[in-house]
Amino acid sequence: MSNSKLVMSQAANSWEGPTYIEDVFSTYLYTGTGATLTITNGIDLAGEGGLVWLKSRNQAYDHTQIDTVRGSNKVLYSNATVAEATNSNVISAFTSSGFTVPGTSTYSGQNGTTYASWTFRKAPRFFDVVTYTGNGVAGRTVSHNLGVEPGCIIIKQLNDVTNWLTYHRSNTASPETDYLQLNSTAATIDLNNVWNDTAPTSTEFTLGINADVNNNGGSYVAYLFAHDPLGPSGDGSDGLIACGSYTGNGSTTGPVIDLGWEPQWVMIKRTDTGGAGYDWFMFDAMRGMPVGGADVYLDANSSDAETGPSERFKITPTGFQMATTSGSFNDSGGNYIYIAIRRGPMREPTSGTEVFSAVATTAATDTKITTDFPVDWQVLKDSRTGSNGPYAMTRLTGVSTVATDQNGGYLRTDLTNAEATASVTRGWDNVGYKLSAPFGGNNSIYYNFRRAPGFFDVVAYTGDGVAGRTVSHNLGVAPEMIILKGRNYITDWAAYHASLGNTKYLIPNTTAAAGTSSLWWNNTSPTASQFTLGNSSRVNNTSSNTYIAYLFATLAGVSKVGSYTGNGTSQTINCGFTGGARFVIIKRTDSTGDWYVWDTARGIVSGNDPHLSLNTTAAEVTTNDTIDPDSSGFIVNQVAATNVNVSSASYIYLAIA
């Protein structure tokens, strides 16, 4: 992943555009407290400027738009035609890492109300905010700083009751003669006096004499979204945003939209038909855009509370695929437009604490656990009795993102069972999750992983039963360890490890030694963009079978995927760390052995260390000194209870700093 920055000069303005989506966009979920809240989403609004879009998830309150150009006390409502309002109670300040809400407004801080916030930072090739005064003359041009042609422009008059007129590059065959209304379910309207029959350029857009965009003396704001899926590199590795279209086919196996990257935010609108049900649908990965599951959405044109869950589309590593016959999303022959924003983070982590946490707790149900990052994969176990778990839950396949008893899907790492649903943990948001029964109040351990380049990725795919099946991923490097499981049928887990090679496999729900077969990985090593499967029923059964795969790699100072040969006594495993390993998985590969796991939350010390086995329900064992701490990684000792250092035996491991 390139760390370069795109630098451009335009007229009197000089911009340095960030490469990384996490610098310019955020979906941040929170619950109002009735008091001041500081939303820390990592977006520099105070210095760079941008737009905050707020909506209550569980109440029928207006969508609100507040931007840095107009000021924190100036509010618009995308579901209404009313003029700009002055209200300092919605956002009290823009900061260098987000914004502050005072807690005195139903739109942003009401006690107990859940909110979604979307922050768009001004940046070349991504987003811009422009204000201007109309002159009522056809051909009026307005400058912008995107540096590429806008894919979508949304305009609202500030000092009058008007519609939100919207240009989209893929609206029709001639988008410069047509427009949509963000505040309305109406279909495309053909009227050539809005955009003056002129397509926007990389430096300006042109207006006709329509009063909603260019009334003489009228004050306006324009929100501009770039269309730049390939990015400055031209290969998609640094593309951030796409504005495109698709034609529905009326099937649950709908059109495939190829963006070149996985999206985290999507807005969809049908353009050839209007009326009830043809809203501006807003989805994001924080609230839920899972693969084959419960999509939830809000409507930009409506004050309605969040709708769902129901499946509308499937996220893929390179875009999304429609998965419904609904006319609002995929009617046969229907025309649809979308705006899609890339999933992050794009920047490689520099510390293990950015992407992994181990939490040992006896806290009660409904306790909020803070991880300081959004969890993408969680493995949890009742470590005291062994009666609950081990469970594995994944954001990509659906979890509860609200503090209600909403179920999420899970797999058991010790069983062959298909995916099931239960309220094991809930309330997943940007910084943690809430405990739920049966774990609340028990002596439990939670392993929390975040997806990040060079470290860890999660991929959902569907089998085809054909040897040589390739699956795309976004790890950015070749994965050294892959653990996967069929979701909708009974089957073993499967694992690849680079030290064993592409002809070997492991079965993580068992103690079995490594096996040899070309049917698992097709004798093909994974690459920085894809991994290859054979036609084993465990990894690539028929097209009716779905899978989830977890990919790990070695990232200097963060993680180490490795192997060692036992010496029968004690040896140091150097992972290249400076503060030691906080999490270790070890598996013997030349003979039987558990998938043992240790963590510093329960203790990696110079004495007895509690360990669990991910392939069993057994309670933790606390009576042996199998491993010891070392600043470079960890030390393994040969003790009969675990046998992780038998002389001449072969082992694999995953360690996280």
| Both tokens assigned to 493 | 């887990």
**pLDDT greater than 80 at residue 138:** yes
- % of the chain beyond a pLDDT of 70: 96
User: Would you say 580 and 629 are in contact if contact means Cβ atoms under 8 Å apart?
Assistant: yes
**HEC sequence for 525-553:** CCCCCEEEECCCCCCCCCCCCEEEEEEEC
User: Would you say 412 and 392 are in contact if contact means Cβ atoms under 8 Å apart?
Assistant: yes
> What is the reported pLDDT for 400?
78
Give the integer Cα–Cα distance in Å for 180 and 167.
7
**pLDDT greater than 60 at residue 394:** yes
Task: Note the pLDDT tens digit of each residue in 516-559.
Answer: 999 999 999 999 999 999 999 999 998 889 999 999 999 999 99
Give the integer Cα–Cα distance in Å for 166 and 491.
49
The rounded mean pLDDT for the chain is: 93
User: Would you say 496 and 551 are in contact if contact means Cβ atoms under 8 Å apart?
Assistant: no
SS3 (DSSP) at 3: coil
> What is the reported pLDDT for 295?
85
> What is the reported pLDDT for 19?
79
Question: 305: which DSSP letter?
Answer: P
Task: Note the pLDDT tens digit of each residue in 4-36.
Answer: 333 333 333 334 545 799 999 999 999 999 999
**HEC sequence for 442-499:** CCEEEEEECCECCCEEEEEEECCCCCCEEEECCCCCCCCEEEEEECCCCCCEEEEECC
Asked if residue 629 has a cis previous peptide bond (ω within 30° of 0), the answer is no
> What is the reported pLDDT for 308?
75
Q: What is the mean pLDDT of residues 212-227?
A: 98
> What is the reported pLDDT for 423?
67
> What is the reported pLDDT for 38?
97
**pLDDT greater than 80 at residue 616:** yes
Top pLDDT among 57 and 401 is at: 57
Task: Note the pLDDT tens digit of each residue in 461-502.
Answer: 999 999 999 999 999 999 999 999 999 999 999 999 999 999
| Both tokens assigned to 332 | 């046969």
Task: Note the pLDDT tens digit of each residue in 399-413.
Answer: 877 644 455 789 999
Task: Note the pLDDT tens digit of each residue in 171-193.
Answer: 999 999 999 999 999 999 999 89
Question: 22: which DSSP letter?
Answer: G
**Helix, strand, coil share (%) of the chain residues, nearest 5:** 5, 40, 55
Q: What is the mean pLDDT of residues 578-594?
A: 98
Q: How far does Cα 227 stand from its chain's mean position?
A: 20
Top pLDDT among 259 and 7 is at: 259
What one-letter code names the amino acid at 563?
S
Half-sphere exposure of 509 (CA within 13 A, CB side): 20
- Name residues whose C-beta falls within 8 Å of residue 27's C-beta, 6 or more positions apart in sequence: 116, 117, 118, 264, 265, 284, 285, 286, 287, 430
> What is the reported pLDDT for 6?
33
> What is the reported pLDDT for 407?
59
Q: What is the mean pLDDT of residues 432-439?
A: 87
Number of neighbouring beta carbons within 10 Å of residue 110: 20
Radius of gyration of the chain from Cα atoms?
26
Task: Note the pLDDT tens digit of each residue in 305-342.
Answer: 998 777 899 999 999 999 999 999 999 999 999 999 99
> What is the reported pLDDT for 21?
97
Give the integer Cα–Cα distance in Å for 279 and 34.
31
| Both tokens assigned to 96 | 């260098």
| Both tokens assigned to 369 | 């656990």
What one-letter code names the amino acid at 75?
V
The model's pTM is: 0.95
Give the integer Cα–Cα distance in Å for 411 and 406.
17
